[in-house]
């Protein structure tokens, strides 16, 4: 499949890769002009609510701020799910990181039959086998998404809370069918580090809003 401003695949998997990985979204950078262009978009049904699940030491105030962003930006209610321990089952000793695919499977199991989409907020460093690290990962078909604060946690508490809002909207956007956006101010722009997350806002560009059927 040709890749352009999106690495969303036909099986619904989308990942936010580390900057050393050139296979994902190679044309996206801080110097891009806003435009909202995307290579792939498949709008999905809007859920009644999203379940937010923490993995590791993620504070309740941060989760509450993330849920507020979902309501304000996407018009979707957020319910707080179980607080899970760090996912030891996904730990790769050789890399000292946690395999995001294994965590997504566990998150998907929390949905049950016909349950709401699940967004995990973790405090561990994530990886996929062909990338040095990932900030986030999503499986739209399974209805689960995940992002980590491990590489976003430096700075003031207010900065961390804002990054959590931005990446929660980003992760949920993937579950709604949005791919990565080329507008660096849009929440759907790919994040490789804290600077990317800080540069963009929790809001969506006009193109992404239109794709979701949101009114201007």
CATH code, 148: 3.40.390.10
Domain-embedded: residue 97:
yes
Please tell me the pTM assigned to this model.
0.82
Of 27-31, 199-203, 212-216, the range with the lowest mean pLDDT is 27-31
Contacts of 45 (CB under 8 A, 6+ apart): none
Residue 183 Ramachandran class (φ > 0 left, ψ -120 to 50 alpha, else beta): beta
The pLDDT of residue 37 is above 60: no
Provide the domain count of the chain: 1
* Chain centre distance of CA 144: 10
Q: Tokens in use for 167?
A: 């990446």
Task: Quote the pLDDT of residue 131.
Answer: 93
Domain-embedded: residue 18:
no
Domain-embedded: residue 193:
yes
The pLDDT of residue 38 is above 50: no
Task: Quote the pLDDT of residue 39.
Answer: 39
Average pLDDT value for the chain: 83
Q: How do residues 134-192 score in pLDDT, each as one tens digit?
A: 999 999 999 999 999 999 998 899 999 999 999 999 999 999 999 999 999 999 999 99
Contacts of 112 (CB under 8 A, 6+ apart): none
Domain-embedded: residue 108:
yes
Rounded-to-integer distance, Cα 6 and Cα 150, Å: 23
Task: Quote the pLDDT of residue 14.
Answer: 65
DSSP 3-state assignment of 196?
Answer: helix
Domain-embedded: residue 63:
yes
Q: How do residues 61-84 score in pLDDT, each as one tens digit?
A: 999 999 999 999 999 999 999 899
Domain-embedded: residue 142:
yes
207: containing domain: 47-211
Domain-embedded: residue 186:
yes
Rounded-to-integer distance, Cα 171 and Cα 114, Å: 19
Of 25-34, 51-60, 76-85, 120-129, the range with the lowest mean pLDDT is 25-34
Domain-embedded: residue 26:
no
The pLDDT of residue 201 is above 80: yes
């Amino acid at each position: 499949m040709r890749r352009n401003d999106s690495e969303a695949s036909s099986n619904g998997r989308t990942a936010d890769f580390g900057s050393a990985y050139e296979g994902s979204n190679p044309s996206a950078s801080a110097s891009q002009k806003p435009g909202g262009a995307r290579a792939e978009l498949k709008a999905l049904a809007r859920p009644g609510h999203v379940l937010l699940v923490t993995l590791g030491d993620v504070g309740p105030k941060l989760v509450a701020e993330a849920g507020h962003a979902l309501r304000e930006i996407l018009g979707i209610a957020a319910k707080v799910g179980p607080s899970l321990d760090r996912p030891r089952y996904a730990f790769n000793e050789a890399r000292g990181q946690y395999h995001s695919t294994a965590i997504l499977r566990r998150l998907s199991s929390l949905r049950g039959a016909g349950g709401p989409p699940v967004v995990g907020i973790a405090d561990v460093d994530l990886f996929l086998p062909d990338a040095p690290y990932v900030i986030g990962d999503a499986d739209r078909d399974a209805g689960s998404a995940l992002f980590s604060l491990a590489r976003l946690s430096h700075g003031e508490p207010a900065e961390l809370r804002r990054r959590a809002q931005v990446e929660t909207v980003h992760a949920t956007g993937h579950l709604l069918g949005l791919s990565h956006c080329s507008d660096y101010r849009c929440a759907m722009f790919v994040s490789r580090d804290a600077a990317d997350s800080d540069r963009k806002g929790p809001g969506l560009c006009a193109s992404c809003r239109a794709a979701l059927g949101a009114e201007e």
